[in-house]
Structure 1
Amino acid sequence: MAINSIKFLQLSDVHLDRPMFGGTLGLATEKAEILRQELKAALAKAITLAVEEAVDIILIAGDLFEEENLVADTIPFLHDLFRRVSIPVVIAPGNEDFYSAASHYSNNISFARFGDVWPENVHIFRKHEFSTLILKDFDGLVISGIAHATEPSEQRLLTTKLTGTSANVHIGIMHGSLDDNLPPGKILTQPFSNQEVFKQPFDYLALGHYHESSSLIDERGLIRAAYSGSLCPFELDVKGPFGLQIGTVEKGGVRKGELSHFQMDDRRIIGTHVDVTGLSRNYHVENAIQKEFEVKQVKQNDIVLVELTGSFPTGSRIQLSDA
């Protein structure tokens, strides 16, 4: 019997193995490793949620990991994680986990390095143009997706309407940049507009690349595309919300009440300033910082970047309580 709706879990931009010890955060190596492992734990939690919520498919819209920073245990971890479930996992590689013949989405590379290939329930788009996926036992469902190449592309992939597909439910999946919404410092790649999405045959387009969640809603009030945002926070300048989305798509789109956001990690990454002008003792500075933490309602697992302004005694070492 042909299906008329699909329940999906969507996530993207996990960025497994992203270096956390450089950049603005400048985490110590051991803390960066803790954060790296927590990203893996959050992904495992997401897959468990997919089972608990009885979703039909899992959509991963790119940047699952960072190809150029991969640690040796990450691909085997993903193989084992996805193999634990029978749910189809559909992946559209992004600019950080791009597909090439030499990348780890290649079964040849995966087998050569780890003696294993991607599980049968994992479906990876490996062409650098839109192609179509038909899943066994999902009569009436068509999924169209594209793999990101090694380098970012400014080619507008959605200007031409996709043809040759007839479906009860048509889902698209890609990693790209919505016009006029590019965050500062973000790479422009595979750009598109709202109207270009709306003219496509997709009932719903799962998007990755932007780290804050947002939706594209058509004139009927139906959600036609959405970014789920980063699975977890790992940047100072991104406000969130972070996590994943679970929704039900039917012919025409996703009803507003049928797309829900789930938080996988309640940590926040916060930047703040503290003026230490006139403070002559270390403990005065420490107290000023603690008061700012109270104002910001900082929790113990939050990461806070504190910028001090003014001056305080040379050689001072600031020590804050863990409480």
Structure 2
Amino acid sequence: MKFIHIADVHLGVVPDAGKSWSEKRAADIWTTFTEVFAVAKKIKVDMVLIAGDLFHRQPLIRELREINYIFEQVPEIQVVIVAGNHDFLSVASNYRTFSFAKNVVFLKKNEIESVYFPELNTEVYGMSYWHREETSDVYDHITPKRQDAINILLAHGGDAKHIPFSPAKIIENGFDYIAAGHIHKGGVLEGMSVNPVPLDSNRKITTMQAVMAGALEPIDSNDTGEHGFWVGEITKAFGQVQFCPLRKCQYVHETIQLSSQMTNMAVQTIVKNLLANRKPYELYKIFLTGTLNADTELDLDWIRNQEAVVDVICSLRQDYDYDRLREENEQQLLGRFIAAMQSQGESEVYKKALEIGVEALLSAKLDR
């Protein structure tokens, strides 16, 4: 049985709100979802497995009609869906009453159910979220009904608040493949805990029994690394999977180490050079670390407003001339505080306390 496995599409999300590329990113996520089904048709898969969070929030009727149109274009492909914690089946959810195409099975119950496809000798098990959090370890206690069938668990979860599970237990119970979602970093699952291990960069087909699909596309700047979908083939004797990366967007975390001698213009030059060499699909979250002269003012808004910069996180330490400050303020609280802290030695704890205290006292002095 040949399949595509996706999860965490988050249709309806608007990434990086307020940025010039935000609306395009939202549209690209819809386009990517459509392209997955074009690939499914081209390579003639038997089934597409969607492991939760197809939508970022409760879907609108018009949005359900749009995805149903996509499903209708591939009537030869079986589609199996569960709802995740973002698009859970609330009391008023449009999922509850919407009629999908004949080739779509939505496992809507808030308990484990299954659907058997005799022509594929494949049974898919799963359940949908009816609440934002589902804490039961229900997946670990399922035993397939047909041991001679290909048994697949469509699972959304993997942390304490969202159906924790053990891949090893589920496989031991008789499942041939775990098609998981929820954790946005995709990879092969092994052992007792859910810790996705990405495939190596040459994209080799890999034998497997459990995969966390990861987000189809990154939805915010913390979704670093590659994202995409998984193509697999499984029988009762073997299973193999291949990761297919997408490159409409990739977030990169870049750390810039500053020294106290650097000026604002020097930092801007580093940022300009970094962005000049970026790949077209890369968006940057920049972390500024190190020390900065107390007299230097960084224009963080300039960095944030550069094209392809999502955010700037500043954790710089002020490089104060403590000896000069102590001498100039010898008879004042600031000077006495510096002298007292310097007498405690060179431990990192006292250095940090000295920095925080001096900054607070200088700020109080400026505010008068």
1:138 offset after TM fit, Å?
1.7
The reply on whether 1:198 has 2:205 as its aligned counterpart is no
Alignment-derived partner of residue 38 in structure 2: 48
The reply on whether 1:207 has 2:189 as its aligned counterpart is no
Name structure 1 gaps, 5 residues minimum: 1-5, 22-26, 111-116
Q: What does residue range 209-248 of structure 1 map to in structure 2 within 5 Å?
A: 209-217=182-190, 223-248=208-233
The reply on whether 1:10 has 2:1 as its aligned counterpart is no
Amino acid at match of 1:214: G
SS in structure 1 of the partner of residue 183 of structure 2: coil
Amino acid at match of 1:209: H
Amino acid at match of 1:289: V
C-alpha change, 1:315 and 1:234, in structure 2 (3 Å) is closer
Contact in 2 for aligned 1:62/1:91 (Cα 8 Å) = yes
1:249 offset after TM fit, Å?
0.8
Distance 2:171 2:157 in 1: 15
C-alpha change, 1:125 and 1:320, in structure 2 (3 Å) is closer
1:302 offset after TM fit, Å?
1.5
Q: What does residue range 151-190 of structure 1 map to in structure 2 within 5 Å?
A: 151-177=132-158, 182=159, 188-190=161-163
Instruction: Give the TM-score normalised by the residue count of structure 1.
Output: 0.78
C-alpha change, 1:276 and 1:291, in structure 2 (3 Å) is farther
Q: What does residue range 174-323 of structure 1 map to in structure 2 within 5 Å?
A: 174-177=155-158, 182=159, 188-217=161-190, 223-254=208-239, 258-274=240-256, 275=258, 284-293=266-275, 297-308=277-288, 310=292, 311-312=296-297, 317=302, 320=306
1:51 offset after TM fit, Å?
0.7
1:300 offset after TM fit, Å?
2.7
Write the deviation string for residues 75-112 of structure 1: whole angstroms up to 9, x where unpaired. Answer: 22211111111111100211112124521322x2x4xx
Alignment-derived partner of residue 71 in structure 2: 82
C-alpha change, 1:321 and 1:266, in structure 2 (3 Å) is closer
The reply on whether 1:131 has 2:113 as its aligned counterpart is yes
SS in structure 1 of the partner of residue 141 of structure 2: coil
Alignment-derived partner of residue 59 in structure 1: 49
Identity across aligned pairs (percent)?
22
Amino acid at match of 1:198: I
Distance 1:139 1:31 in 2: 43
Instruction: Give the TM-score normalised by the residue count of structure 2.
Output: 0.69
Amino acid at match of 1:127: K
Contact in 2 for aligned 1:174/1:207 (Cα 8 Å) = yes
The reply on whether 1:142 has 2:139 as its aligned counterpart is no
SS in structure 1 of the partner of residue 153 of structure 2: strand
C-alpha change, 1:188 and 1:252, in structure 2 (3 Å) is farther
Moved more, 190-199 or 34-43: 190-199
The reply on whether 1:20 has 2:15 as its aligned counterpart is yes
C-alpha change, 1:240 and 1:292, in structure 2 (3 Å) is closer
Contact in 1 for aligned 2:225/2:251 (Cα 8 Å) = no
Distance 2:253 2:120 in 1: 49
The partner residue of 2:103 within 121, 125, 128 is: 121
Moved more, 36-45 or 190-199: 190-199
1:159 offset after TM fit, Å?
3.6
The reply on whether 1:31 has 2:36 as its aligned counterpart is no
Amino acid at match of 2:133: P
Point out which structure has higher relative CO (alpha carbons under 8 A, 6+ apart): 1
Alignment-derived partner of residue 201 in structure 2: none
Name structure 2 gaps, 5 residues minimum: 192-205, 309-368
Which of 1 and 2 has greater Rg?
A: 2
1:147 offset after TM fit, Å?
1.2
Higher helix share: 2
Distance 1:47 1:210 in 2: 22
1:197 offset after TM fit, Å?
1.2
Moved more, 93-102 or 224-233: 93-102
SS in structure 1 of the partner of residue 209 of structure 2: strand
C-alpha change, 1:277 and 1:43, in structure 2 (3 Å) is farther
Count of residue pairs the alignment pairs up: 286
